Amino acid sequence: PVPESTWANAVRTAPALQSPLPGPGSAEAAGQSVSMLQPVAWFGLPQEVQELINTNAGAYAPLLTLLLVIIINNQIDRIRREQESKALASAGKAVAEAAERTVRSVTSEQWAKLALCVAIDGLGDSTFLLPGLGELADLGYGPLEGVLLNALFKSGSLAALGTFEELLPFTDALPTATIGWVLETFFADSPLGRLFGLEHPEDRKEAEEKAKAEEAQAKAK
């Protein structure tokens, strides 16, 4: 059995156990409500609102606070879901428009351009069929490829790459023209496409139509 002195010391060191339980509307109950709600930031309610609840609700303040938090969080979740749905719908629309734009850009003219690019790369690779003369042939074909690439893509940097690709040894296998077509058709807005100064076929077509309209207006004046 525990000695009586031990129980006495425990009671003396815990004076709160000797006081009666506070009633629902007493000041002690309001104080306990405040302590039960610490920290207030966990509930996400403003300090002024929390103090108003603690003052008027007494012992029921924790329950009222919890109900408010649940209601507020439900409203926040609903608003967030609505915004996410709008963002997803907007992103889906943008992707669909980009895909439609890309499909429109691959016209019969663009396919013919691809065939010409493959032929340009094939001619550059065919110099390997001339034993001992391949590199000499590249000296003449390199500048020609540069001129063709500049005419096809209006890109001096891509033309320079095609020229050096033919002139430098062991680089003939690089299909510069075909790579340029892929970049122009599908990745004109990418960093690499902008580096080469490529323009999307749809953008180029719109620019040409605008230039023709301005020229017609200038002649009419």
User: 3 versus 155: which is more confidently predicted?
Assistant: 155
Half-sphere exposure of 109 (CA within 13 A, CB side): 6
Range 26-34, long-range pairs (CB < 8 A, 24+ positions): 26/58, 29/58, 29/59, 30/54, 30/55, 30/58, 30/59, 30/61, 32/59, 33/57, 33/58, 33/59, 33/61, 33/62, 34/61
Backbone angles phi, psi at 131, to 5 degrees: -60, 125
- Candidates 142, 195, 196; CA nearest to 168 is 142
Predicted confidence band of residue 85 (pLDDT cuts 50, 70, 90)? confident
pLDDT tens per residue, range 146-156: 999 999 998 99
Average pLDDT over residues 19-47: 48
Please give the mean pLDDT across all residues of the chain.
76
For the stretch 61-80, pLDDT in tens is: 888 888 888 888 888 888 88
Q: Give residue 148's pLDDT.
A: 93
Q: Contact, 64 vs 53, CB < 8 A?
A: yes
Assessment of whether the complete model's pTM goes beyond 0.85: no
List CB contacts of 103: < 8 A, sequence separation 6 or more. Answer: none
Most confident stretch, 24-38, 94-108, 122-136, 159-173:
159-173
Q: Which of 2-11, 78-87, 101-110, 155-164 comes out lowest in average pLDDT?
A: 2-11
What pLDDT is recorded for position 113?
92
- Rounded percentage of the chain residues whose pLDDT exceeds 90: 16
